[in-house]
Structure 1
Amino acid sequence: MQQIGFGGSCHWCTEAIFLSLKGVGQVLQGWIASDGDNTSFSEAVIVEFDVEVISLETLIAVHLYTHSCTSTHSMRGKYRSAVYIFGEGQAAQAEAAILKLQSDFDEPIITQVLPFKEFKPNKEEYLDYYYSNPDKPFCQNIVNPKLRVLLERFGDSVDSERLNHLGR
């Protein structure tokens, strides 16, 4: 299994998205800090994945399509748009994937590729938030639309049993 970090949206949303994919073993939800210029913590997840089942490029595409990867809105400090790498080999792959996907978006992708430094987990009561609370208004109104994008664009990579409740 390999690890990669993603930030850019609420970690409840991001956790639900990546937990819904084949080849993802675990998603750790919380805050990530990076080395370099972006050392503050930002909401994010660490995704453990099997490269034999799902590629890093697919995970990055999922990430870009399920959050505002071109928006520099006022909440970017809390929701930094980033791919947090766990090794130099991932840096080149991540940068190439983002560059390749740029033509799919009208505005420039602002997602940064940053070296992972530190992780702080969320409180246990908030872990697996979506799958523990799928009927809550936040899940219905905010998470479900992102999961529908996942089903539409990445249906072959989705663990359909996890998303049966959304229909197809």
Structure 2
Amino acid sequence: MSEIATLAGGCFWCLDATFARLRGVSQVDCGYMGGRIEAPTYKAVCTGDTGHAEVIQLTFDPAIISYSTILKLFFALHNPTTLNRQGEDVGTQYRSSLFFHNEAQETAAKAMIKALADQYADPIVTTVTPAVTFWPAETYHQDYFDQNPEQPYCSAVVAGKVRKLMQEYGDLLK
């Protein structure tokens, strides 16, 4: 039986490119969650005024990849200590957040944050909040890295995260 996880950790292109490569993950969709307006657009979300985070929503088989492993990778592939920022991407839309779909996910997320707290010099600022309506991003954002590997942001930022995944977590790849 499949489950859903929703993660916000900066630009959704980075998370999409990494999590889509994992065994047990059958689908990854880029989108928006946690804001104040319905049917947000990328342009609106980029203003920082809608309250949405750029997220990925992934469908996974917990018999192949656990939610705990997903959390471990989430924290390894972004900086959970920078408020509303990942690298040069700044704004509330780039916040670190875990949107839980059930009580078990909430408990696991909070436990992971507590377990990892001592590994960082600064406090973890990742929020843990209930999942609300997922608004899919525009079609051109889906699988963006794979379709645009030479785009400057992709080659400078996303490619490094994909390399890290492949080097450090190769045993989890499809």
TM-score using structure 1 length: 0.85
**Conservation of the 8 A alpha-carbon contact between 2:10 and 2:94:** yes
The alignment's C-alpha RMSD in Å is 1.9
Q: How far apart are residue 73 of structure 1 and its match?
A: 4.9
Partner Cα separation in structure 1 for residue 123 and residue 130 of structure 2: 21
**Conservation of the 8 A alpha-carbon contact between 1:32 and 1:45:** no
Partner Cα separation in structure 1 for residue 147 and residue 53 of structure 2: 23
Partner secondary structure for residue 99 of structure 2: strand
Q: How far apart are residue 18 of structure 1 and its match?
A: 0.7
Q: How far apart are residue 33 of structure 1 and its match?
A: 1.3
> Which residue does the alignment assign to 1:83?
98
Partner Cα separation in structure 2 for residue 23 and residue 66 of structure 1: 18
> Which residue does the alignment assign to 1:12?
13
Partner Cα separation in structure 2 for residue 81 and residue 106 of structure 1: 17
Partner secondary structure for residue 92 of structure 2: coil
Partner Cα separation in structure 2 for residue 137 and residue 40 of structure 1: 27
> Which residue does the alignment assign to 1:144?
159
Partner Cα separation in structure 2 for residue 149 and residue 104 of structure 1: 18
> Which residue does the alignment assign to 2:57?
46
**Conservation of the 8 A alpha-carbon contact between 1:60 and 1:98:** no
2:128 paired with 1:113: yes
Matches within 5 A, 1:16-165: 16-33=17-34, 40-73=51-84, 75-159=90-174
Partner Cα separation in structure 2 for residue 53 and residue 34 of structure 1: 32
Partner Cα separation in structure 1 for residue 148 and residue 21 of structure 2: 15
Partner Cα separation in structure 2 for residue 80 and residue 16 of structure 1: 18
Using the aligned pairs only, state the percent identity: 31
Residue segments in structure 1 that go unaligned for 5+ positions in a row: 160-168
Partner Cα separation in structure 2 for residue 119 and residue 27 of structure 1: 12
Partner Cα separation in structure 2 for residue 24 and residue 134 of structure 1: 21
